[in-house]
Amino acid sequence: MAQNQLINQTFEKQEELSTIISSYWSQYSHMGTWQFWVVTSFLIIPLVILVFAVDRKRIFEVLFFGFVVHMLWTYAALALTNLGYFSYNYFSTPVLPASLNMTASVLPVSFLLLYQYCTNHQKNFFLFLLLLSAVFAFGFGSIEIKMGFLELRGGMNQLYLFLGDIVIGVLAYFLTQLINRYKVERY
């Protein structure tokens, strides 16, 4: 098959998939369902908490940490969804990634508030990261699965979610420390 034919076929399949996702959302995840409101509240409530809880003296550092968590989890979730390991059954909008409530709000805000707490109170970030990761993977993840919000497929399980949380938290920590070191040395 020629390149143009493959590009056109890919475009047609993407349009078809978009139509299927929109149809699914209209039937099962629209504004009239309680699941829509749960997912949307998971998107909005952490951001409201963040406005009041963020350390304004360290706002750029703390938000940078949260941004790194957001970006890493967003790309990881997109890849895992595209590869068939994650299936988000309810979402706020069919246009944006289905994992948006978790990867743009719940996880980054929780992790950045943990980072802020540990660095403000000289607590061991890595120990608290293990605890928070366990809560998300084995606690919150179990609830999401039981309630039908999330399906793990293809051998994916909560242990991998736990390890993913840890890896992303550690990467965000070291990237933030690197930026802090650069900022201090530069000015």
pLDDT given for residue 92 in this prediction = 94
- Whether 137 and 176 map to the same domain: the answer is yes
Please state the length of the chain: 187
Q: 43: helix, coil or strand?
A: helix
31 Cβ neighbours under 8 A, 6+ residues apart: 37
Note down the domain range covering 117: 31-186
pLDDT of the residue at 184: 62
Domain count, the chain: 2
Give pLDDT, residue 169: 99
Q: What is the pTM of this model?
A: 0.92
- DSSP letter at 57? G
Say whether pLDDT at 11 is over 90: yes
Residues 74-101 have a mean pLDDT of: 94
Residues 16 and 91 in one domain: no
Distance between CA atoms of 96 and 54, rounded to whole angstroms? Answer: 26
